[in-house]
């Protein structure tokens, strides 16, 4: 018997040596490597691949600074009560964690990778991070303008460039997956996340988002299209609140960006926090399977948002407990759980009980493993300090951040004060909560080295070295401004030749409870917070010329000041080079070119307000003298040049054989310096079997023009551009009359129009 046992051990050992671990061979097709690895995995290891944890340093910090009660409602920080760091590290070595988020250093990323590779099968982990406008949560990385500002440039090529540079910095930090782009269509400025979107128009959001996805994945970082779907138009404007909308609204406005990003190759997708028409998005099989996979052909993996699977139980109350919520989410189509240890044992138990087929688990694990193989993590699991230091915040990336910021700043009002002439002003007052604060970087940023951030004050001093700047600090917190500092600014304004007030909101995540804008910071008003209105009023009382600069992630209803200040500049969240960019705009070093990617209402009482509304929306005007017009319309923005639109022409005789027609006009820079005009094309279907919006964006072009230069701009339209969704929710073209419009904004008086009949 002992001899037989020895023989069995020898044979077994020999067999193990002949098992060549084919999944480790990079020359094999990914699909073959996936299947070889999958067959070796235990159920526990498979379920572990579907689970994501926050990083060890994040756990260490928050377990020491948060209570368990605070943990329940927090949507940015977490730890795992009852689990020590040693417990978590052992789970990683046991192959029970597949990915991480909130890892902010290369050293920690490498350490987590080392722990993962020590597991039985040596499967590397994915490091995900919220690199929303650059890898801005990590020290010494480049912070670009947030998406809403970038969208105002209407520059899809720049979106792709920024995404590629962000991905390079991420990979240099050993990070492989960003929870971006946010391609929700922003329809309510009360919602705190407007700043991380590309605005209110589905075409613009689709194009900017798709180029972002392409740029990220060209540099070997997984993009994540989010949030699917409806969270940007909740019933009360707050993040995660219910959304109720028709199939037509979904398919016309909210689905197109997601479909476009899937066509662009998005590797991952994240459902929305909210319930849609009564069903939580995280357990919505119609969204995550019927539409996403069966209709659109998505082949990547779906990751939950922060604890949103658990919210199926404790918030939406459509599950009996967390186990039931896990079952619902997996069967609906979720592949990765964000985040926490309860998942592992619960899901393994559900499979063993037959509540979830193991074949469904295998589907998810195949998708996750395929991503890891394609990223090259098995062959190149680590990054080096030399790689990080040569790539992150390099001169090329800083130059891109500056150019992007310059092109994102919208000039909304100018009575002739701007551009500031050299030597015209000897003493300038600069004040306001955002005059000299890192808040200029915007939401989803962590502190950077002061030398790497150009605030407005710093930018002005560098660009205008011959001017004396008086700075009256108003603090960073708009909710707790000092009346005495406001009065101090008023006194200083009387001694200045020019006043610059830098107002807006506070978005910095390291002071989570003091923020007035950003994720989970929604408002019932869109007015300036605190004593900011008092500050502007008292500065204006000096009688000196005054510029108001807004640093904010959402449109603000500054109706009170729009006609009273000499110049109004919407700077959005321009990133760490933003102060230089703002100074370049004010001094005329750069001619402003940006146009609004979102309508700016006068106040919250006008909401909802967007340019592509239905004809009946303002049939009855507001009573008591209230305007139905926005403060500033979509597509609007001033320049130091004047652009003349003329000679609009449409080939209306017939569709070409390829099913297209051309629409054109000439644009001339009649006065002013070299400038870039963003030419916009809109259409309206005059008579249709379904109600259509008053106008819809169908094209745009950034047009550089020297002084007195004229250029012919031509757009090509297809039948698809003039189609709509019929009662069956399928696209159809109805012959008839259409109004085609070309101009400088969506405002009627800014558009050339021509009605044509198309058959």
Written as one string, the DSSP assignment of 249-270 is HIIIIIHHHHHHHHHTT--EEE
The 3-state secondary structure of 149-198, one letter per residue: HHHHCCCHHHHHHHHHHHHHHHHHCCCCEECCCECCCCCCCCCCCHHHCC
Q: Which residues contact 146 (CB under 8 A, 6 or more apart)?
A: 132, 133, 195, 196, 442, 443, 444, 553, 572, 573, 575
Q: What sign results for the dihedral spanned by CA atoms 477, 479, 485, 489?
A: positive
The residues assigned a catalytic role are 305
- The b-or-e profile of 118-139 (16+ CB within 10 A means b, else e) is ebeeebbbbbbbbbbbbbbbbb
CA distances from 750 to 633, 643, 679 (A): 11, 11, 11
H or E segment to which residue 320 belongs:
none
Beta sheet of 468-473, edge-to-edge order: 410-414, 567-570, 546-551, 498-504, 427-432, 468-473
Separation between Cα atoms, residue 337 and residue 343, nearest integer Å: 8
Tokens 């597949």 found at: 98
Q: What sign results for the dihedral spanned by CA atoms 742, 745, 751, 753?
A: positive
Tokens 């994915």 found at: 126
Closest C-alpha among 100, 123, 128, 101 to residue 46: 123
Using a 10 angstrom Cβ sphere, with 0-12 exposed, 13-18 middle and 19 or more buried, the burial of residue 258 is buried
Beta sheet of 675-685, edge-to-edge order: 696-705, 675-685, 736-743, 751-758
């Amino acid at each position: 018997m002992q001899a037989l046992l020895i023989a069995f051990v020898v044979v077994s050992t020999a067999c193990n040596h002949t098992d060549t671990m084919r999944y480790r061979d990079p020359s094999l097709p990914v699909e073959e490597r996936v299947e070889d690895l999958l067959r070796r995995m235990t159920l526990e290891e498979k379920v572990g691949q579907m689970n994501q944890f926050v990083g060890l340093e994040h756990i260490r910090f928050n377990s020491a600074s948060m209570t368990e009660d605070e943990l329940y409602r927090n949507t940015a920080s977490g730890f795992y009560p009852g689990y020590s760091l040693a417990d978590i590290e052992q789970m990683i070595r046991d192959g029970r964690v597949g990915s991480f988020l909130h890892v902010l250093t290369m050293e920690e990323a490498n350490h987590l990778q080392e722990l993962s590779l020590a597991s039985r099968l040596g499967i590397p982990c994915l490091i995900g991070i919220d690199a929303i406008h650059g890898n801005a949560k990590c020290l010494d990385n480049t912070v670009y303008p947030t998406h809403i500002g970038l969208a105002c440039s209407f520059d899809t090529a720049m979106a792709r460039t920024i995404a590629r540079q962000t991905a390079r910095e991420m990979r240099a930090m050993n990070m492989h997956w960003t929870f971006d782009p946010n391609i929700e269509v922003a329809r309510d400025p009360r919602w705190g996340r407007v700043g991380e979107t590309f605005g209110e128009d589905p075409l613009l959001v689709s194009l900017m988002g798709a180029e972002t996805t392409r740029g990220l994945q060209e540099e070997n970082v997984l993009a994540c299209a989010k949030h699917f779907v409806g969270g940007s138009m909740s019933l009360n404007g707050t993040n995660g609140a219910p959304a109720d909308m028709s199939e037509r609204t979904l398919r016309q406005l909210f689905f197109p960006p997601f479909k476009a990003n899937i066509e662009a190759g998005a590797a991952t997708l994240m459902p929305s926090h909210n319930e849609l028409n009564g069903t939580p998005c995280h357990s919505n099989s119609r969204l995550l399977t019927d539409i996403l996979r069966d209709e659109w052909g998505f082949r990547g993996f779906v990751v939950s948002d922060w604890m949103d699977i658990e919210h199926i139980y404790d918030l939406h109350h459509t599950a009996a407990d967390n186990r039931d919520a896990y079952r619902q989410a997996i069967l609906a189509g979720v592949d990765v759980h964000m985040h926490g240890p309860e998942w592992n044992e619960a899901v393994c138990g559900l499979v063993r009980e037959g509540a979830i087929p193991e074949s469904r688990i295998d589907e998810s694990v195949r998708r996750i493993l395929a991503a890891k193989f394609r990223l090259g993590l098995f062959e190149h699991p680590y990054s080096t300090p030399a790689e990080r230091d040569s790539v992150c915040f390099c001169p090329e990336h800083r130059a891109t951040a500056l150019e992007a910021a310059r092109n994102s700043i919208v000039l909304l009002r100018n009575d002739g004060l701007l551009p500031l002439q050299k030597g015209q002003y000897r003493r300038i007052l600069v004040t306001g909560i955002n005059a000299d604060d890192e808040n200029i970087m915007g939401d989803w940023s962590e502190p950077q080295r002061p030398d790497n951030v150009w605030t407005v004050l710093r930018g002005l001093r560098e660009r205008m070295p011959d001017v004396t700047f008086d700075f009256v600090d108003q603090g960073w917190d708009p909710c707790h401004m000092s009346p005495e500092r406001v009065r101090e600014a008023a006194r200083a304004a009387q001694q200045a030749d020019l006043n610059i007030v830098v107002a807006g909101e506070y978005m910095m995540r390291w002071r989570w409870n003091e923020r007035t804008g950003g994720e989970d910071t929604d408002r019932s008003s869109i007015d300036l917070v605190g004593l900011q209105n008092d500050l502007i009023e008292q500065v204006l009382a000096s009688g000196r010329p005054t510029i108001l600069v807004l640093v904010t992630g959402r449109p603000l209803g500054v109706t009170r000041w729009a006609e009273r200040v000499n110049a109004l500049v919407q700077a959005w969240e321009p990133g760490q080079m933003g102060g230089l960019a703002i100074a370049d705009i004010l001094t005329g070093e750069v001619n402003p070119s940006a146009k609004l990617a979102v309508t700016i209402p006068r106040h919250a009482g006008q909401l909802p307000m967007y340019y592509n509304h239905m004809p009946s929306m303002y049939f009855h005007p507001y009573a008591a003298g209230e305007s139905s017009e926005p403060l500033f319309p979509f597509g609007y923005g001033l320049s130091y040049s004047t652009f003349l639109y003329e000679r609009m022409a449409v080939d209306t005789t017939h569709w070409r054989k390829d099913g297209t027609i051309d629409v054109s006009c000439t644009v001339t820079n009649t006065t002013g310096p070299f400038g870039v005009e963003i030419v916009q094309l809109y259409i309206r279907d005059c008579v249709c079997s379904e109600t259509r919006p008053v106008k819809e964006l169908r094209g745009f072009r950034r047009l550089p023009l020297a002084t007195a230069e004229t250029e012919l701009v031509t757009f090509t339209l297809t039948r698809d551009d003039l189609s709509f969704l019929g009662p069956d929710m399928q696209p159809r073209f109805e012959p008839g009359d259409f109004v085609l419009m070309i101009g400088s904004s969506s405002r009627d008086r800014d558009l050339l129009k021509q009605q044509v009949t198309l058959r």
